Structure 1
Amino acid sequence: MQIAVIGGGVAGSYLSVLLQRSGYDVTLFDLKGKYFKPCGDVVPNVYEPKIPWRVKYRIKNFAFYVDGEKVYDVNYRHTKWNVIDKTGWINSMIEEVRKKVIGNAKVNSKDFDLVVKAMGPYLMDRKVVYTTRSIIKTEEFDDVAVLEFDTRYTGFYWIFPDEDGVYNVGAGFLEYKNSKELLFNYLKSKFKKYEILDTRGAPITVDLVKEKDWRIGEARGLVFPMSGEGIRPSAISAEEAFNAIVKGKEFNEALSQGLRKLERRIAIQYLLLKTYINSNNYLRKKMLKTFLSNGVLVDAFLEDKIDLEGVAESMRELRNGSAIIR
């Protein structure tokens, strides 16, 4: 089979290499040929890809703020989130693909047996939140991941340990597109002294996508709207696409079945997000403080498993003493 993959992000590069290593004739189409899309670079520690990534930092401690007030903090006995070298992982896979078309070359579907679309949010057929993140170096470092919500907007600030002495600090709010301005003001309010090593922005999907045929990753809408986590669902979609092709299954039907749980959990988060968007500031604060003060819901949120099955799983883990709640 001759297969075209459009887009060299998480899903596209990963699928291309999996197929190529299995003997398929793969052509990867990408605008730049080098990947860089800034985000928090964190993945819940419940998944590992078939092609390993480098883990830079392991996060066990979390603190949650609403309008400047700490409402909850927790220390897990095991790693809850992995900070990964996402850019290095993806670029190593892009480099491995033997056939690449870089630039705006159009894909002629007649030249291929299968064309898979993995263009991230750049199809622009959905709502996105414009995020900005800075990598900063500071002596004011500890190993706590911070998520801070501002009820005037829909979204949050984050402070994630990236490496020793280095933080990934970001901002993304649906109603305020100039996230860079918000981020820089936030940095000044949180740190007395720091050095900005890099600052970049990117759109992140916060909407459901109607058109899913032949799509994987964020092009299919596989981003959790409440947390913005898209690395793991994109990678899983690449694995499901690979399995469908190798096993000769009908592609779209196989993906719908294989991604059912993920897409259900994304849909639940979308409904919760819509409720938040349509609420006034008082109700927003009430909802956030209630949600973020509940250890079970926080645990489910951190692993993006907010459904009955996921909440029950979090309850069992907390009963077994997986966390120290302060």
Structure 2
Amino acid sequence: MRIAVVGAGPAGAWASTLLARRGHSVTLIDSQAPWEKPCGGGVTAKALSSFGIFESDLPRSTIDRITIYFGDSCSVTVSPNEPLAVVSRRELGKYLMEEAERAGANIVKNRVTRIERTPRGWCLSTRNTCMQSDFLIGADGATSLVRRSVSTGLRPKDLCVTLGYFIPGTFPAHMKIYFVPEFEGYIWSFPRPTHTSYGVITRSDPGWTGRAKMLLSNFMAADLGSEVMQQAEFYSAPVPCLGPNSWKKNQISGDGWALIGDAAGLVDPITGEGIYYAFKSAEILAHTIERLELYGPKVDMEIGRELTRASRMYRRFYRGRFAGADFKKRTVQLAQRSRTLKIILGNLISGNQSYLTLKKNLLLSIPSVTVDMIWGRS
């Protein structure tokens, strides 16, 4: 089968590799890849252990210490049982595209400007040619042209925005996450092998972006000094952030087409993490493309249920209150005093604690948390 994959990020490149290995004629189309994607670059322990690509010698910073701040009033440092990694997305993209090419995929450095259905499949127009395919895969991000051509694009209310700065240099392998009172989103500092990424993710609603950029600049100045802005490289990009109702209507496949990764909206709405879901959706599609009716249900079972639960928890996480204070503040304060809560928090950040079982595990941990606080086991 002739398959056109639009977008050579992790989802598109990995899907191209797997499909080419299965004997399909794959064309991977992207005008810019590999690029340094505007994101933190964090890879959860769950992703590291799930996909063979991370067993390679890909350059990375290994993170075993994460400090979570709530405003200037409190913080807690956790050490996940399994370390995370931070990678350069340019290096990851380069590695994945080389894997796709070795598997037999044809890489086209061009920009798709128009997609049309034909009697035999699809016609993908670029500035100087029209490529034909039997099957179309959209892996072209949150504002996916493929999604807008075959279905409907993500609505503004289902998008967040990331913005931040890359700062060259060598930095300690210490990840920082900073929550601000009355602010939906968080600021991060993720060290990479050759630079560090300072960024923020927040709602794309009017007014939020300007406030986010100001908060981030203040955080960076306090952390590194105001002069660091002179060598910082700015970035910004949209990120899917689907609400509960949107998950119910999220169509990710149809006659002769499928969406994967960000294009399918497969991103954790609370954290903005999408790398695990990018690889996972690519793998599911590669195994179900000959029986496409299985793709949607399998994604829903292995990914959708988790992300739907996260979307239902979003409002409580960012706007909720617990014991008379902001929910996030109380979480940090309690984790300061409880070894058990630190473990749960570390597992949540590393991707090893599912949202589906989080409430149950928290309830079961109450006796241990109580003992921690009585005996001072922090």
Alignment TM-score > 0.5, same fold = yes
Secondary structure in 2 matching 1:28: strand
1:262 aligns to what? 303
* Alignment of 1:114 onto 2:135: yes
Offset at residue 38 of structure 1 (A): 1.2
Which residue of structure 1 aligns with residue 355 of structure 2?
Answer: 306
**Partner AA of 2:77 in structure 1:** D
The alignment partner of 1:102 has SS state of coil
Shift of the 211–134 alpha-carbon distance from structure 1 to 2, 3 Å rule, reads: same
Q: How far apart, CA to CA, are the structure 1 residues paired with 2:292 and 2:66?
A: 39
The corresponding residue for 1:50 is: 52
Q: What is residue 198 of structure 1 aligned with on the other side?
A: 233
Q: Which runs of 5+ in 2 are unaligned?
A: 122-131, 145-152, 336-340, 369-376
Whether 1:222 and 2:271 are equivalent positions in the alignment is no
Aligned-partner SS, 2:163: strand
Over 6 Å off, 4+ runs: none
8 Å contact kept, 1:121–1:203:
yes
Q: CA deviation at 1:17?
A: 2.0
User: 1:291 is aligned with what amino acid?
Assistant: T
- Structure 2 CA distance for partners of 1:252 and 1:90, relative to 1, 3 Å: farther
Q: Tell me how far 1:12 sits from its aligned partner.
A: 1.0
Q: CA separation of 1:74/1:300 partners in 2, compared to 1, >3 Å: closer, same or farther?
A: closer
Larger % of helix: which? 2
Corresponding position of 1:322: none
Larger C-alpha radius of gyration, 1 or 2?
2
Equivalent residue letter for 2:141: G
Q: CA RMSD in A?
A: 3.1
C-alpha separation between the residues in 1 aligned to 2:314 and 2:359? Answer: 18
User: How high is the sequence identity, in percent, across the aligned residues?
Assistant: 21
Aligned pair count reads 311
**2:183 aligned with 1:162:** no
Choose which of 330, 355, 369 in structure 2 pairs with 1:290: 330
Report deviation, 1:291. 3.1
Q: 1:112 to 1:137 in 2, by over 3 A?
A: closer
Could you tell me how far apart the structure 2 residues matched to 1:137 and 1:263 are?
37
Aligned partners of 2:177 and 2:188 also within 8 Å: yes
Q: Which residue of 189, 214, 239 maps to 2:222?
A: 189
- In the alignment, is the contact (CA less than 8 A) between 1:67 and 1:149 conserved in 2? yes
* Structure 2 counterpart of 1:273, one-letter code: Y
Instruction: Mark the CA change 1:309 to 1:60 in structure 2 (over 3 Å): closer, same or farther.
Output: same
Verify the 8 A CA contact 2:66 2:78 in the aligned structure 1: yes
Partner SS for 1:71: strand
Q: Give per-residue Cα distances to partners, 1:251-310, cap 9 Å, x unaligned.
A: 242342255232212111111113345558x98952112334332541342134222179
Q: Distance in 2 between matches of 1:300 and 1:284?
A: 26
Assess if the C-alpha contact under 8 Å between 1:27 and 1:101 holds in 2.
Answer: no
Residue 235 of structure 1 and its aligned partner are, at CA, apart by 0.7
For structure 1, the residue ranges without an aligned partner over 5 or more in a row are 320-324
